[in-house]
Structure 1
């Protein structure tokens, strides 16, 4: 099915209550005068989760049930790629993010995250393999990381994959939505509620902050995260930005620098789902880093990019974030590390936006999280 709609950004603006990390600094919601075209190029995807654009413009897309396929820009899919390990596809678990190696043109390596079953339950794992696109096959597949410990939960896998400028791989990891386990987001003896950083082969790279700390897992980069399902490298600074789900309120944008503690579950801008306070009931504490921005009510963030400005020059450097609960694409204007304006677009699609990517021409590609998920191309109206 192919459906094209031209949407005025003014028409797509959704009124929302937005609160900055400092509540008195809420940015204005603005409306652009430009128009965009959103075209559904493929449908029938089974809860698509991650999208990675190949050098030739085709796209690798994961579906939570365990299928990875290559999509042409016209929406035509390949057959399912073979060679992936078995995934634990229950609730929020399954086949999750996908990324290509920075040197993909030479080595053909693809990386993906998934829920891996094992003794004690399951956890987020990352594997890599060499893509044979002609045969829709991954060769020489190896698991390069498994979150420790495994937990009897089907929730909060985190799971975005981002390469830094040195070629090391960041992996965001959830705290598994277990009240007896989530406290481990504050300890260094597990990967619960962490961002970790490994080499492409799964070793420990130079620069990790806790490699000499007794009892600490050397892969840990930052801690105190809840469930980060959005992550991207800031092209100006090289810093990793992550956006994590809050509970009842308190979705957070954090700049995940080495060794920082972002507070979960000691402090939060949200409440537990039963309405009780999280941890101390406070929003800040000594030694814990404040978010640069937060949403209450939540948007349920998933997927993010910094836009190059190639297709939308007026949006150069803007942050685009998928919204699951709000069913919008969120556009944030930045001044350095400060969010100064927010706009919510593509609301007329009425879809949970799971991930967003940018093609070589600057057009945006989004996937929608549904049993009949869609691949949508977003470009300037002509």
Structure 2
């Protein structure tokens, strides 16, 4: 199934920007404001707390509006609980489905039959087949890497595996688990988990702290893989040069810590910096720029509260030695997959960060200057979809999947 939408424009006299997707109105600059003009913040709901940001623009940045016309197409509605997207060298998309299968999709929307051969997943709750990436030498070795929730006698854990996409593309061959984020825990929440190759040929993997009160402190524990970003080799070993290499009191695969539940990883196309997003509790979803060895604070500091309304810990938001988020949301948008735009079809999107939002039912566009968010736009709000991942395709368009099984193309 496929249908096409046109993005919405700015209606004359509006100071507040809402959606960027509408079935009939082009997204031109209709009120003659300059392209770089800004508007009131896109978030209009009251925050959950009276916590104050550490610096101006850390939350509720000015609204911005895309002025270049673009199309939004639903390419397919045939996916089954899709979670992650990897873009193949030929432009096709390799998509994970939570139940444990892969699908191939063309940029035109043709979706393959399920690809089998992966290890069994526990797809209860937030578990299942999760993040995916391909080997830098995929053209020659056809190797795929993925993360999933794995059953053990002690509970479940985030695991990373690799295998070869068969020549007939119907199965994955020689699937092997290469890394396990231990300890396991009897929970079906907060697994992370995205994967991303760096320029040295090593892999960043994000994990969650499994949500429970008893496991939260492990985000601060350097002898636990929970609530971390780790950096491993393609064989699953700690990558050389990691910040805690050679220390007896820390796991050598850890790259950064103090994270709650990281579901977005992306490299800035100009600086090469690693950025991530992570779920807050009730309030306090975060965007962070990751530096090796740094502590990003959870659960010691947070801009959120418990789901029932109680304060978390000592209810502090700032502490020496703990990193502040570049940006946070309160109320939450539930950020998942994300990507930086490096195409040129829509010039004003260059180097912007696009974040798939679940409870926010939109894709957030963040304008970043000097490592600060200076503008925010909400795309596809009229679609009422929980967006799970968004990635840039070989054709310069953005491709997104939703929990309901849709595959979108956003571009010219």
Tell me the TM-score range normalised by the shorter chain.
Answer: over 0.9
Query: Is the partner of 1:183 in helix, strand or coil?
Result: helix
For structure 1, list consecutive stretches of 5 or more residues without a partner in the other structure.
Answer: none
1:2 matched to which residue of 2? 2
Contact 2:66/2:348, CA 8 A, preserved across alignment: no
For residue 98 of structure 1, the aligned residue among 132, 136, 140 is 132
Q: Structure 1 23/272 Cα, relative in aligned 2: closer, same or farther at 3 Å?
A: farther
1:259 matched to which residue of 2? 293
> Take 1:72 and 1:22, find their aligned partners in 2: how far apart are those partners?
44
2:43 matched to which residue of 1? 16
> Take 1:351 and 1:10, find their aligned partners in 2: how far apart are those partners?
22
1:352 matched to which residue of 2? 386
**After the TM superposition, which residues 206-285 of structure 1 pair with which residues of structure 2 at under 5 Å, given as runs?**
206-285=240-319
2:214 matched to which residue of 1? 180
Report whether the alignment pairs 1:150 with 2:155: no
- Deviations along 1:13-52, one digit per CA (max 9) or x if unpaired, are 2441499953643421022333321111111322110011
**After the TM superposition, which residues 1-382 of structure 1 pair with which residues of structure 2 at under 5 Å, given as runs?**
1-10=1-10, 13-14=18-19, 15-17=42-44, 21-22=53-54, 24-25=56-57, 26-370=60-404, 373-380=405-412
> Take 2:322 and 2:167, find their aligned partners in 1: how far apart are those partners?
45
> Take 2:78 and 2:120, find their aligned partners in 1: how far apart are those partners?
22
Q: Structure 1 119/44 Cα, relative in aligned 2: closer, same or farther at 3 Å?
A: same
Contact 2:54/2:318, CA 8 A, preserved across alignment: no
Bigger drift between 307-316 and 133-142 goes to: 133-142
Contact 1:164/1:238, CA 8 A, preserved across alignment: no
RMSD between aligned alpha carbons?
Answer: 1.6
Contact 1:53/1:59, CA 8 A, preserved across alignment: yes
Contact 1:197/1:220, CA 8 A, preserved across alignment: yes
Report deviation, 1:287: 1.1
Flag the structure with higher strand content.
Answer: 1
Q: Structure 1 309/76 Cα, relative in aligned 2: closer, same or farther at 3 Å?
A: closer
Contact 1:9/1:345, CA 8 A, preserved across alignment: no
Report deviation, 1:214: 1.4
> Take 2:130 and 2:268, find their aligned partners in 1: how far apart are those partners?
22
Report deviation, 1:9: 4.7
Report deviation, 1:270: 0.5
How many matched pairs?
Answer: 378
Query: Is the partner of 2:312 in helix, strand or coil?
Result: coil
Q: Structure 1 298/135 Cα, relative in aligned 2: closer, same or farther at 3 Å?
A: closer
> Take 2:378 and 2:54, find their aligned partners in 1: how far apart are those partners?
21
- Deviations along 1:46-67, one digit per CA (max 9) or x if unpaired, are 2110011111111101111111
Contact 1:13/1:31, CA 8 A, preserved across alignment: no
For structure 2, list consecutive stretches of 5 or more residues without a partner in the other structure.
Answer: 12-16, 20-41
Alignment TM-score, normalising by the size of structure 1: 0.95
Bigger drift between 112-121 and 102-111 goes to: 102-111
> Take 1:9 and 1:109, find their aligned partners in 2: how far apart are those partners?
43
Report deviation, 1:102: 1.5
Contact 2:193/2:205, CA 8 A, preserved across alignment: yes
Bigger drift between 23-32 and 84-93 goes to: 23-32
> Take 1:114 and 1:334, find their aligned partners in 2: how far apart are those partners?
31
Alignment TM-score, normalising by the size of structure 2: 0.88
